[in-house]
A and B are shown apart, each in its own frame.
Chain A
Amino acid sequence: MSRTICLRQAKVNQKIKILTVSAEGELGRRIRDMGLIPGTEVHVIGKAPLKDPVALRLKDFTLTLRNSEADHIMVEPLED
Chain B
Amino acid sequence: MDKVTIAIAGNPNCGKTTMFNALTGARQHVANWPGVTVEKKVGRMHAQGREIELVDLPGTYSLTAYTQEELVSRNYLVEERPEVVVDILNADALERNLYLAVQFREMGIPLVLGLNMMDEVHRHGKDIDTERLATLTGCPTVETVARNGEGKNRLLDAALKLAEEKQGEWHPLHISYGPDLDPVLTEMEEIIETSGFMTDRIPARWTGIKYLEHDEDVVLKGRVMDADVSNRLEKMADKVSDHTIKTLKAAPDAIIADYRYGYIAGIIKGVVSYPVLDSRRISMSDKIDKVLTHKFLGPLIMLGIVYMIYKITFTVGEIPMGWLESLFGWLGETVYAAMPDGLLRSLMVSGVIDGVGGVLGFVPLIMFMFLMISALEDSGYIARMAYMLDRVFRTFGLHGTSVLPFIVSGGIAGGCAVPGVMASRTLRSPREKLATLFVAPYMTCGAKVPVFLMLAAAFFPNQGAAVMVAITLGAWVMALIVARILRWTVIRGESTPFVMELPPYRMPTLAGVLIHTWERTWEYAKKAGTVILGISILLWALMTFPQLPEAEVAKFEAERAPIAAQIEALGENPPESAIAPLEDKLSEITNREAEDALRNTFAGRIGTALEPVSELAGFNWRTNIALTGGFAAKEIIVSTLGTAYSLGDVDPEDAQPLSRRIAADPGFSKAGAIALIIFVMLYAPCFVTVVTMARESSWKWAMFSVFGSTGLAFGLAVAAFQITKNIL
Contacts and interface: CB of A to CB of B under 8 A. Distances in A.
B385 to A, nearest CB: 11
Nearest to B261: A37
B257 A33 contact: yes
A37 B257 contact: yes
Contacts of B285: 62
B258 A48 contact: no
B391 interface: yes
B277 interface: no
B125 to A, nearest CB: 13
A6 interface: no
B390 A66 contact: yes
A33 B64 contact: yes
Interface string B379-396: 000010001101110100
Given A35-B99, A50-B391, A26 B66 contact: yes
B499 A45 contact: no
Contacts of B96: 34-35, 58, 60-61
Given A26-B66, A48-B390, A60-B92, A34 B501 contact: yes
Contact of A49 (B66, B94, B257, B388): B388
Contact of A63 (B66, B92, B296, B500): B500
Contacts of A69: 497-499
A31 B92 contact: no
Interface in A19-65: 20-22, 24, 26-38, 45-46, 48-53, 55, 57-65
Contact of A65 (B94, B249, B498): B498
B177 to A, nearest CB: 14
Contact residue range for chain A? Answer: 35 or more
A78 B94 CA distance: 24
A33 B61 CA distance: 6
A54 to B, nearest CB: 9
B643 interface: no
A45 B285 CA distance: 12
B715 interface: no
A48 B497 contact: no
Contacts of A29: 62, 64, 66, 253, 257
A60 B95 contact: yes
Contacts of B502: 55, 61-64
A61 B93 contact: yes
Contacts of A38: 258
11 contacts: A29-B257, A31-B499, A35-B96, A37-B257, A37-B258, A46-B290, A48-B293, A52-B391, A60-B92, A64-B383, A69-B499
